[in-house]
Amino acid sequence: MKLNLSIPSSDEKDYVKVEFSLDTEETIIQELRTYFSTKQKENIKDLESHKIFLIQLITFISSLDRLRYYNDHENLEIEFDSHIEKILEKQQEKKSSLILKKNEIEDLLKLSGFKRELKPFQLRDLERLISIDHGMNFSVPGAGKTAVSLALHALLKNDKNINLDGLIVIAPLNAFGAWDDEIEICFDESVKKNFKLTRLLGRFDDIESQITKNRKNYIINYHKFLNPEIQNSIRKLLIQGNYHLILDESHRIKSETSIIAQSIRELCIYPERKDILSGTPITWAQSDIENQWIFLHPHEYLPNANEFRNYFVRTTKRDLNLPPINRTESPAGRINVEMSKPQKILYSKILIPALNKLGGKISTSNLKEMRKCVIQLLQASSNPYLLTIRENNEDYFMGDDIDAKLFREISEQEFSPKLLKAAEIARKLASEGKKTLIWSYFVHNVESLATKLLQDLNAQFIHGGVGVGSEKDEDTREAKIKKFNEDKECMVMVANFSACAEGISLHRSCNNAIYIDRTFQAGHYIQSENRIHRLGNNDKKNIYYLESVTSASVPNIDSRISRNLQRKIQIMDRYLNDPDLNILSESEDDSDPLDYELTIEDLKSLINEFVQKE
Residues 219 and 300 in one domain: yes
Q: Find out whether 494 and 484 touch, Cβ atoms under 8 Å.
A: no
Crossing angle of helices 557-576 and 522-529, in 10° steps, is: 80
Q: What is the pLDDT of residues 233-289, one digit of tens each?
A: 999 999 889 999 999 999 888 877 788 888 898 898 899 999 999 988 876 667 778
Residues 469 and 602 in one domain: yes
Comparing 255 with 606, the larger pLDDT belongs to: 255
Q: Is pLDDT at 484 greater than 60 in this prediction?
A: yes
The amino acid at residue 602 is D
Q: Is pLDDT at 168 greater than 90 in this prediction?
A: yes
CA distances from 558 to 333, 425, 515, 545 (A): 14, 19, 11, 10
Residues 8 and 144 in one domain: no
Residues 134 and 75 in one domain: no
Q: What are phi and psi of 499, to 5 degrees?
A: -100, -20
What does pLDDT average to over the chain?
84
Per-position DSSP letters for 387-444, written without gaps between them: GG--TT-TTT--TTTS-HHHHHHHHT--S-HHHHHHHHHHHHHHHTT--EEEE-S-HH
Q: What is the largest CA-CA distance in the chain?
A: 82
CA distances from 419 to 264, 402, 445 (A): 39, 23, 8
Whether residue 331 has a cis bond before it, omega within 30° of 0: yes
Task: Report angle CA 404, 407, 409 to the nearest 5 degrees.
Answer: 110
Q: Find out whether 543 and 585 touch, Cβ atoms under 8 Å.
A: no
Domain that includes residue 112, residue range: 102-308
Alpha helices in 43-101 (DSSP H): 57-61, 64-73, 82-93
Distance CA 454, CA 607 (A): 36
Q: Find out whether 503 and 175 touch, Cβ atoms under 8 Å.
A: yes
Residues 125 and 268 in one domain: yes
- The domain tally of the chain equals 4
Strand partners, 544: 333, 514
Residues 210 and 230 in one domain: yes
Range of weakest confidence among 119-123, 214-218, 582-586: 582-586
pTM (2 decimals)?
0.71
CA-CA-CA-CA torsion sign (552, 553, 558, 562): positive
Strand partners, 243: 166
Residues 203 and 61 in one domain: no
Distance CA 84, CA 102 (A): 40
Residues 390 and 430 in one domain: no
Strand partners, 273: 244
- Out of 378, 411, 444, a domain closes at 411
Q: Find out whether 595 and 564 touch, Cβ atoms under 8 Å.
A: yes
Q: What is the CA radius of gyration of the chain?
A: 26
- Out of 62, 93, 124, a domain closes at 93
Mean pLDDT over 348-369 rounds to 67
Distance CA 229, CA 425 (A): 49
Under the banding of pLDDT at 50, 70 and 90, the label for residue 14 is confident
